[in-house]
Structure formats: structure tokens, C-alpha cells
Amino acid sequence: MDKTMRPNPTPHKGNVLIINTGSTTTKLGYFSNGERISYTNLEHSADVLSSYPSIMDQSEMRREAIKEFMTAKGIPLENVDIVMARGGLITPVVTGVYFVNQDMRDVLNSSREGEHASNLSAILADDIAKEINESRRAKGLQPRYGDTVAYIADPPMADELLPECRLTGRPEFPRKALFHALNSRAIVRRYVRERGHAVNDMTLVVAHMGGGATISLHRNGRVVDTSHALGGDGPITPERAGFCPPFDLIDMCFSGEFTREEIRNKLVGNGGAVAFFGTNSMQEVEKMAGAGNERARIFLKAYVLNICKYIAAMAATADGKVDAILLTGGIANSKFITDAIAEKVKFIAPVAVYPGEDEIASLAEYGYMILAGKTKIHTYNKERLIE
């Protein structure tokens, strides 16, 4: 049992189940009265996954795996008071908490906004919540907090961009928000609490650095500007190309040498460090540079510079009035990289480092905020673009 996982000072009562689906894994967490009782990362083999025509067809298989996990840990489903899920690709919405309704299920099931394994999380959470309620009724059990409900929090397509941040030079191509909302906002809440602020009245730039990277501007609790995790509007990452010269990219697209999917893979998955060195490990790139590999040394400098340029861009949106710059994500474990970034951007604002990410704990924090009645619950509407 991990007694260090209390996400904030709010009194924690109740049991929270967390579901976070990835392409080949289902991450599960179970919290009781604020303590993380159990965590697992269920791995699904390529052979098993290949037997399903689409990601969404994996729903029943993954649901049974979740129930088997709960049984193995001796946790009755009826004990779960709330189910929190990773947000999937849905119509752009404001940040915050949403209960899983039929509109959300329709968009996720159809993959209308894009196909991604995260789309399964809310579907599974809602199915599990309904099964819990049916089981309670069949056994004559009374819930402590009313029927169990499934929620998502801070989905990646959360969009609170200022109008001037959304506009580009072509009306057909508005800028869109797709960023590491869950972890970035959790780090902001943590920083604000640590500074003794009762409300989030700070302006902060958050650089989330992992396999993908997003730099976002948080002002008084809203994310008013951000780079894009996938679409080229962002920095180089270990496996993503980031921004590329458009004319060169156009020439490649019309060269006839590559399919649409092959070009997408060059930009996402086979870009960045993978394209240069065949690895998505920045630790390996650092080792290469330390061993005298000049190309690796220059790549690291370019990576740092890319991150810093986007941090500076967010500072410009804030008219230079930034309280702090927060570095987070897996790559923030590298002191070499975080020190290099801090040296370049310290003229803007103080820099604080929060290595790694814990989406499970972030979702648990939201779960207890919901149970304590300390957060607004939004209703998702698949036809409304921005609330």
C-alpha cells in the first residue's frame, strides 16, 4: 500500500477505480480513502490484439481483464464508488470533469475525432459503473454515495485557446488544441498548492516532455495557448518530427514515393530521435553524445532549443508576465536537459522541475474532488465545439 499518494489536502473518503487504456496496455489503479491500494499495467499481446478488427472491438476483452484484476486483488466491484477514465478523442471542450454520457460514447465508438486506444477508457469505465450498479441492486446493497458514475477529466482535446491563438494564415487550417492536459493541469495544481495559493491565480508555462511534447500556457486555471502533440505544431521529440518546412513536406507528399500513412509515420512514430538514431530513448542519445557522437550532441542542443522556443512563444502570449515555468514528463528526469532548458529560459521566469507523470494519481485526485463536491461537473455535447 502506498501512503504517499495523497494527491491534495482534500479529505479523501471513498473508493476510486482508475482506467487508462493504451495501445497495448490497460493501466488500472484502485484507491481507498486517498491511498493507492493497487496498481497494475495489464499487457495485451500482439497476437490477442491482432484478432480484433479495430481498437473499439477490444472493449469486451479489456473489460473482462479489468474484472479479473479486481477479483485477483480481492476487491469486490460493489466497493467502487466512482470510476475515473482517461479522456479520449472527443469534440473539443473546456478543461475539467465530464460524466460519461451517450453523446460521449457515440463519438468515441465511432472514432469521429480520431481512432486512439484512449477512446476505450471512458467506454470501459461506463460499462463497469453500470455493472456495479446492477450488481448492487441484485444483491440489495445500498451505495454510500449514490449510484456509481463514470467520469473523464482533462481530455487531450481540451480547448480554451484565445481567439488570436486559434487563427492561422489560412482559414481552412485553424490551430487546434491537443496536449497533455491531464498531467499538465495536475502539475499546475500541485505548484499552486505548494505556493500556498487558495485559488489558481497564477500564469504558468508547462513543458510536458515525453515521447510526445506539448508546451502550454495556463492562466488563472485556463489553458489559453498550447502547442499540438501530433500535428506538427510543436517541438522535436524522441519519436515525433515536430514542425517541418511546409514546402519540403508538400514535395514529399506529391513525390509518389510514399503513401499517406508512410508520411504520417515519418512525422509521428518515426520522427525525432528515431529518425536520426533509431531509438526513442533520450537517455541513449545522451550516452551517444557523452561518448563523442557529434550528431547526438547537436541533436540534444536542437531538442533543448526547440522546447525553449515554444516556452518563449507561450511567454509572448502572456505578454511576458509568467510566474513560473514548469518542466514535467519522463524526459524531465534528465538533469542535463532540464538544466540546459532552465539556463535558456530563466530570463522569463523561475523554473521548477516535476519529473515523470502519474495520470493514475491525477485521475484519483479528480475522483476525490468529485466525491467531496469540490469540482464542477460538465455535460458533454457532441454537437457543441467549445463550451
DSSP assignments along 279-317, one per residue: ---HHHHHHHHHTT-HHHHHHHHHHHHHHHHHHHHHHHH
Q: Note the pLDDT tens digit of each residue in 141-153.
A: 999 889 999 999 9
pLDDT at 145: 87
In 3D, which of 161, 282, 278, 176 has the Cα closest to residue 234? Answer: 176
Write the burial class of residue 274 (CB in 10 Å: 0-12 exposed, 13-18 middle, 19+ buried). Answer: buried
pLDDT band of 97, cuts 50, 70, 90: very high
pLDDT at 9 over 50: no
Check residue 4 and give its pLDDT: 34
| Amino acid making up residue 21 | T
pLDDT, average across residues 43-71: 90
For residues 144 and 273, the model is more confident at 273
Quick check: 1 pLDDT over 60? no
Residue 137 CB neighbour total at 10 angstroms: 12
Q: Which CATH superfamily is domain 15-155+360-378 in?
A: ATPase, nucleotide binding domain (3.30.420.40)
C-beta of residue 303 within 8 angstroms of C-beta of residue 271: no
pLDDT at 5: 37
pTM, 2 dp = 0.88
- Would the pLDDT of 247 be above 50? yes
Residue 128: pLDDT band with limits 50, 70, 90: very high
In the predicted structure, residue 358 carries a pLDDT above the cut 90: no
Strand partners, 352: 326
Q: Could you tell me where in the chain the CATH 3.30.420.40 domains are found?
A: 15-155+360-378, 181-356
Q: Is the model's pLDDT at 386 over the cut of 80?
A: no
For residue 227, give the nearest of 248, 238, 212, 239 by alpha carbon: 212
Q: Looking at the predicted structure, is the pLDDT value of residue 368 above 50? A: yes
Confidence class of residue 6 from pLDDT cuts 50, 70 and 90? very low
DSSP 8-state symbol, 141: P
For residue 113, name the pLDDT band (cuts at 50, 70, 90).
Answer: confident
Q: Residue 2 pLDDT more than 70?
A: no
* Cα 255 from Cα 201, distance rounded (Å): 51
In angstroms, the CA 269 to CA 253 distance is 17
pLDDT confidence tier of residue 363, bands split at 50, 70 and 90 = very high
Query: Cβ-count burial of 308 within 10 angstroms (0-12 exposed, 13-18 middle, 19+ buried)?
Result: buried
Q: Coil, strand, or helix at residue 118?
A: coil
CA 170 to chain centre: 28
Closest C-alpha among 14, 16, 73, 11 to residue 42: 73
Q: What is the pLDDT of residue 384?
A: 64
C-alpha to C-alpha distance for 170 and 130, rounded to whole angstroms: 45
Could you give the CA distance from residue 367 to residue 86 in angstroms, rounded to a whole number?
12
Q: What's the mean pLDDT in 215-240?
A: 94
**Architecture of domain 181-356 in this structure:** 2-Layer Sandwich (3.30)
How many residues are present in the chain?
387
Residue whose C-alpha cell reads 487550417 in the numeric block: 173
C-beta of residue 187 within 8 angstroms of C-beta of residue 356 = no
pLDDT digits (tens, 9 = 90+) for 135-182: 999 999 999 889 999 999 999 989 999 999 999 999 999 999 989 999
Question: What values do phi and psi take at 58, rounded to 5?
Answer: -85, 0
| pLDDT of 3 above 60 | no
pLDDT tens-place string over residues 299-353? 999 999 999 999 999 999 999 999 999 999 999 999 999 999 999 999 999 999 9
What pLDDT shows up at residue 382?
87
45 phi and psi angles, rounded to 5 deg? -65, 155
Average pLDDT, the chain: 92
- Report pLDDT for 385: 55
Question: The C-alpha cell of 259 is what?
Answer: 503513401
Cα pseudo-dihedral 148, 4, 43, 274, rounded to 10 = 120
- Do the strands 97-99 and 149-153 form a parallel or antiparallel pair, or are they unpaired? antiparallel
